[in-house]
Amino acid sequence: MRWAAECAVVIPCLNEQDAIGSLVAAVRQQLPAVFVVDDGSLDDTAQAAEAVGATVLRHPVSQGKGAALQTGWRSVQQNGFKWVLTMDGDGQHSPEDIPNFLRGAERTRAGLVVGNRMFNPGKMPAVRRVVNWWMSREISRAAGQELPDTQCGFRLMNLDCWAAMQIGTTNFEIESEVLLAFARARQKIVFVPVRTIYESEQSKIHPLRDTIRWFRWWRRANRLGLAGESR
């Protein structure tokens, strides 16, 4: 697989001027095509990303992580890439883990390769660890297969598979929706270990607001039959 030519990186960002420059520079040492989606930032995120070679796509106002990801995925596919690697822009994902995803896709021929932080979740805040465990259990039941870390945004995805699916969420619940869509389409999903980085980085997840939003999506998915077992 000629990953440098066939895979681009999409990084959704909201006010990440302090982290995005060094992140993009490190990522481009492995995958040179990096698309940063500036989701209505009020700081110099876009300028910092452009200064180190990223292609920057801009939302005039924040539309949510899911909307930013879909903007990036569409642009990457329109530019001829077959695969997309997604990372968060706050420094919680390590570029050193990128080879795990590329090897995972080559080894298994999976359409979706997801980072798994739960094999060693010690640095993850306790509340997030419990919420992630519960959500992963529920999504696993609906998908009919074990999905150990359904909330990790560090992923490698085949764009032809994605383009055939209807993904409609615009916020953090997109991670769950994509997993269910791949499972229902019987596309292979595999997980690879990634490290957890929780230092000065500040997650954009709002524990109460985004958990409530996830439950609303989950109820709707169940009502529409989208969360039925996929085996």
230 within domain boundaries: no
pTM: 0.86
- Arithmetic mean of pLDDT, 30-54: 98
> To the nearest whole number, what is the mean pLDDT of the chain?
88
- Arithmetic mean of pLDDT, 178-204: 83
Give tens-digit pLDDT for 114-140. Answer: 999 876 655 666 666 777 777 888 889
- Domain span holding position 214: 3-223
pLDDT confidence tier of residue 230, bands split at 50, 70 and 90 = very low
Apex 37 CA angle, 35 and 40, nearest 5: 160
89 within domain boundaries: yes
pLDDT for the residue 226: 53
- Arithmetic mean of pLDDT, 18-25: 97
Two tokens at 95? 């570029």
231 within domain boundaries: no
88 within domain boundaries: yes
228 within domain boundaries: no
pLDDT for the residue 231: 42
What domain count does the chain have? 1
229 within domain boundaries: no
pLDDT confidence tier of residue 197, bands split at 50, 70 and 90 = confident
For residue 69, give the CATH number of its domain.
Answer: 3.90.550.10
**Residue of 1, 2, 56 whose CA lies nearest to 24:** 56
112 within domain boundaries: yes
